[in-house]
Amino acid sequence: MHHPGPPRFVSTGETVQLAPRDPDPAGRYAWRVADAPPTSDSTVGPESVTEFTPDVPGQYRLGLEAPDGDHLLTVLAFDAAYEGVDVAGGSGEAVRDRDADRAGIDYAAGRLADDGGPPRVELAAEVEDGAVVVRAAATPNPSSSLAAADLAVRFVIDDRDVAAAVAAGRTNPRDAMAVAETETGATLRLPAGSVPDRLRVHAVAVAREPGEDDRVSVADAVSVERADAEGTDPFGASAPDDAFTVTRPNRPPAWTADASVYEVYVRTFADADRGETLAAIEARLPEIAELGVDTLWLTPVLENDGKPHGYNITDFRSIADDLGDRDDYERLVETAHDHGMRVLFDLVLNHTARDHPWFRDANRNPDSPYRDRYEWSESGEPETYFDWELIANLNHANLDVRRYLLDVVDEWAPLVDGFRCDMAWAVPDSLWREIRDRVKATDPEFLLLDETIPYVPRFHEGMFDVHFDATLYFQLRQIGRGHEPADAVIDAVERRAAVGFPDHAGFLQYVENHDETRYRVECGDDAAAAAAAATFTLPGVPMVYAGQEIGQRGRRDAIAWDHAREEIRERYARLSAARDAHPALGPAGDLDRVDYRVAGGGTGERQIAAESDAVHPDDVVAFRREHGSEALVVVLNFAPGEALVAVDADHGRLDVVTGDPCVEADAEGGDRIRVDDVAVVPAE
């Protein structure tokens, strides 16, 4: 089906890309504005892939004439200004439209306008009394003075499902639905007989504070499907409650609640001189599994221009010769599965290498049929980011490019458990939305992980499940350098809600990767131990970059397996085991601040932890994690010296990470938690 996908929620003046799905490059596609607010002058271009910028708030219906018929797409535009908010509060378009040299990327991005950030919304659905009821729970921004009852909720039923219902002779679900406000949001009620075989409902929450611009949430969605479409009355009769199943398509795969990721930089990870690289990686899988991680991210394995990182791809359908062949890759994935590990494929969709056959032809021949498959600057040079000279940006408005990239997705998705999406911010939202629907239709538990720095809350809206948390990464570096207090880790986690991420969004927590200096090189061993513990005890998905667990110092050097520091590996294994054994430490566990005091902590000028054994109060942070009936107190110490920390919470005496007692009495008879890098104790 060429329908362009789910409804879009945008602000006036925000440009969105419109594209037919599953395109036939030889097909004819024509866009039009079928309906718009009376005062709007917005138009669409004549291209098959075009752009639309709403000029006034209100509801728009955009028409697409395609080989398989005519389609309508709803766009809701709000009078909401994002100019005062960092790109972390805006859209992917805002990220891509920054200066071409990408200067000044702020890893700690997420600055909010003075009047706060967007609200949030969560959808749930159930069948009751012969009707499908969708409930929207709206939550004000943490910095807002509004209550939930002050927020407006806008529902939109998916245009694809409206068309399907009408085609099947059912009542138009938009005509049959009833919306009511509640103290915590709103409900949408639809008679069961008006529900098509599939009903997708989307919604946003809108904050309207007096005298300020609207703030619009990340959209959420819920899907209601008929378990058995036969035997139901298409003209409004009720159906039994068990005739429907409900899913929440924007939720990350359930397995990510317990996931931990291990990144492999493929060309320097294993002893490739003893055999082909993929086979050598496969041979080390038992050792990785013993660490307790359960998800393997391999940097690109496709044919490339010879640069060791592999991101300059010359053939998107073939395994690189220096790594092995497709059989080797498939055997590696199968062996990983046998060891209880899922595998992430590094998906590169923004560019090709300049050695790619398309580009070689396009660059030397202005009349090349491949010329329009790339973006070109006025100087005649190919467009790139960061002045990268060996790649060229693809033109995602070209149907041949989109068709090819979708075929690449279809090639590799069946073999793996998810995609780590390289430079996700540089690829149009319309393509990611299509890719998500494409892979989830076959495997709802397929993971989409975006590398977007800084993170973008609206990338969780029908695109990605888990997001690189560069904000936490940056704060951990600042703490290790002595530039920020340790409790900045809590600020970083709280920032997720402040910039608009829903509670169900997932975050990849890391202290280093193949693009960054090793943490211990920059901040020292002691801070590195605490930083790693933070990634395993804060709510998110922890990641270990290969070599991190043995004290590796080179960022992309061959892993020094023969010089592994076993005490570090054992520390990581303990952290992993503790997280697996205690759900409160996982993404679903609540994070709360607690009051704490550091014994003997100086109050003078802040010291850089690596320079002294003295423990400054800013070197230490304590917090509470809770899930269900379990509660834990976590204490992190970034300083070289041992810290004694009093926590204003009743707690046990055994460290669940080591299994050893870690509490002693101070001179006044009070309890102090003794902590080198991390201590985790049960709480009342």
Could you tell me the sign of the dihedral formed by the alpha carbons of 236, 241, 242, 246, in that order? positive
Query: What distance in Å separates the CA atoms of residue 460 and residue 538, rounded to the nearest whole number?
Result: 20
**Minimal CA–CA distance to 677: which of 637, 623, 633, 617?**
637
- Which one of 249, 278, 303 terminates a domain? 249
**Minimal CA–CA distance to 399: which of 56, 100, 67, 623?**
67
Across the range 424-439, mean pLDDT stands at 97
For residues 14 and 52, is the Cβ–Cβ distance under 8 A? Answer: no
Q: How does strand 50-52 pair with strand 16-18? A: antiparallel
Cross-strand pairs, 565: none
Q: pLDDT (tens digit, 9 = 90+) per residue, 494-517?
A: 999 999 999 999 999 999 999 999
- Which one of 249, 264, 296 terminates a domain? 249
What is the band of 477 on the pLDDT scale with cuts at 50, 70, 90?
very high
- What pLDDT is recorded for position 240? 52
Tell me: pLDDT of 181 over 60: yes
Tell me: pLDDT of 413 over 70: yes
Q: 474 in helix, strand or coil?
A: helix
Greater confidence, 555 or 668? 555
What is the band of 610 on the pLDDT scale with cuts at 50, 70, 90?
very low
Tell me: pLDDT of 62 over 90: yes
**232-249 CB burial, b ≥16 within 10 A, e <16:** beeeeeebeeebbebeeb
Tell me: pLDDT of 602 over 70: no
Tell me: pLDDT of 587 over 60: yes
Across the range 270-289, mean pLDDT stands at 82
Across the range 432-454, mean pLDDT stands at 97
Across the range 431-457, mean pLDDT stands at 96
- What pLDDT is recorded for position 616? 86
> Does 63 map to a domain?
no
- What pLDDT is recorded for position 83? 44
Tell me: pLDDT of 243 over 90: no
Q: pLDDT (tens digit, 9 = 90+) per residue, 563-574?
A: 999 999 999 999
Torsion of CA 55, 57, 59, 64, to 10 degrees: 20
Q: Which residues touch 8 (CB under 8 Å, ≥6 apart)?
A: 16, 73, 74, 75, 76
Greater confidence, 336 or 210? 336
Tell me: pLDDT of 603 over 80: no
> Does 576 map to a domain?
no
At residue 398, φ and ψ (nearest 5 deg) are -90, 125
- What pLDDT is recorded for position 274? 53
pTM: 0.93
Query: What distance in Å separates the CA atoms of residue 520 and residue 552, rounded to the nearest whole number?
Result: 9
**Minimal CA–CA distance to 646: which of 623, 624, 670, 667?**
670
Q: 368 in helix, strand or coil?
A: coil
Q: pLDDT (tens digit, 9 = 90+) per residue, 108-167?
A: 444 444 446 899 999 999 999 889 999 999 999 998 889 999 999 999 999 999 999 999
- What pLDDT is recorded for position 271? 64
Tell me: pLDDT of 272 over 70: no
> Does 205 map to a domain?
yes
For residues 110 and 88, is the Cβ–Cβ distance under 8 A? Answer: yes
**Minimal CA–CA distance to 182: which of 212, 211, 149, 155?**
149
- What pLDDT is recorded for position 507? 98
- What pLDDT is recorded for position 599? 81
Strand order in 590-593's β-sheet?
590-593, 620-627, 630-637, 678-682
- What pLDDT is recorded for position 126? 94
Across the range 438-463, mean pLDDT stands at 96
Q: How many domains does the chain have?
A: 2
- What pLDDT is recorded for position 666? 81
- Which one of 249, 280, 302 terminates a domain? 249
> Does 431 map to a domain?
no
Q: How does strand 261-264 pair with strand 541-545? A: parallel
What's the CATH number where 674 sits? 2.60.40
> Does 262 map to a domain?
no
- What pLDDT is recorded for position 100? 36
Percent of the chain with pLDDT over 90: 82
451 noted as active-site residue: yes
* Residues spanned by the domain of 675: 590-682
At residue 362, φ and ψ (nearest 5 deg) are -65, -35
| Catalytic one of 14, 158, 213, 422 | 422
Q: Which residues touch 638 (CB under 8 Å, ≥6 apart)?
A: 479, 480, 486, 526, 527, 530, 531, 609, 619, 620, 677
| Catalytic one of 159, 213, 303, 451 | 451
**How high does pLDDT run on average in the chain?**
90
Tell me: pLDDT of 211 over 60: yes
Q: pLDDT (tens digit, 9 = 90+) per residue, 305-329?
A: 999 999 999 999 999 999 999 999 9
